[in-house]
Amino acid sequence: MVMATAVIESFAAHEYTNHHVFLKESYAGFFEPNHNHGGNTTAPSPKELIGNALRERVENIDHEICAPGEEDTFFVADLGEIYRQHLRWKLNLPRVKPFYAVKCNGDPKVLQLLATLGTGFDCASKAEIEQVLSLGVDPSRIIYAQPCKTNSYVRYVAAQGVRQMTFDNADELRKIARLYPEAELFLRILTDDSSSLCRLSQKFGASLDSTDSLLGLARQLGLNVVGVSFHVGSGASDPLAFLKAVTDAHVVFQQAAAHGFEMKTLDVGGGFCSDSTFEQMAGVLRDALDEYFPAHSGINLIAEPGRYYVSSAFTIACHIIARRAVEDPRAVAETLGGEGGYMLYVNDGLYGNFSSIMFDHQHPEAKVLRTGGRVLYNTPAATAKPGGIEYSIWGPTCDGIDRITESISFDCLLDAGDWLYFENMGAYTKCSATKFNGFPNEHDVIYVCSEPGAKALLDL
């Protein structure tokens, strides 16, 4: 097996200049750079691969003459980053099998790679299950992790042989007993998710006061409860939330045994971030699992990571479609804190791939991709600078809340036709984009792959 790069270092930035902008038909797919420039055969770094793909695309678009929509937002996705995240997971949580949360980002190449890596899949709807099954994934690698399910979807998964599913209330048990009594059920329990970006406990989860009676009802209905699941909330920040949830799950396992159930799986849900907090979070969870569900217990351990895999793998490029100087004193005070500057309008926003600002509490940071004929990706000039020219950044719709950035400063003077880019845009972005105001919600994805192991698995 080809091993992944152990450490991604900071690479020297390159400034690209192109004075020959020309029109080229839009494309998406795999970007294969020419590695042999001037006799240099060194494999490009992840940053270089992403930068080359961005540059190739934006330098081939002239907004003065291009066809409508040719300057649309697009993504560059590094599948090698997903591969590295998988190895990182196996290193830190070797006993826990990941079931990727499809809702986070259902990109087909992402799912293909994860399927080839052997992960399972956490699906919440018929469409997500159909997409995963279409890849040839065995139904046993899918958990229908939706505690409150549509009747027709239950009939569908029964026909497809997807047996694993969650529940958290008595009505759902009666529904399953009527529609799919052969299902393998996970009792989802309530957790403390107060420190998470997106709390789920207000909607899902059975309290410990109700778990024993639910297990009793499941036994009365002749259903098969095989495990416990929990979710500490999307984007969790308190490792102790995992410790508390594991101890609670252990209590429920004991309750289930008293009712005669042979419990075999614990699902520790999601909440894992891709940043430097992962190792600490994984360490607390690993220790808790070793104490309450040790390897010799024979309990299978699974999880439902989503953003952990894809957040850092996707970069988005946005075109500046208009610029407005802020001169009115009242407007200045409201939009730019009392000083002059510019309002930039880009071709994506809160109703599109930046819905994560509203729904996922994210704060995407704009960087300058191209201005004045120069590509500035991964250079100091691309990054915001205090004391520079001040901008606010707005989406393309007619809604006044469609603002990406309230205030940011760059050294360069940006104008219509320039490009911005935003990193870490793989989680809860394109999956929740809308067509509000008639703007498209599907955008090209250019794929690069910075890991030989991932390329080999995908036969690239």
- Catalytically active residues are 398
Q: How far apart are CA 341 and CA 332, in angstroms?
A: 8
First to last CA, the chain: 16
Angle between helices 170-179 and 151-160 (to 10 degrees): 50
Identify the residue whose tokens are 């599109």. 352
**Quick one: which of 255, 253, 290 has its CA closest to 93?**
290
* Rounded Cα gap, residues 427 and 88, in angstroms: 18
| Residue 158, both tokens | 């029964």
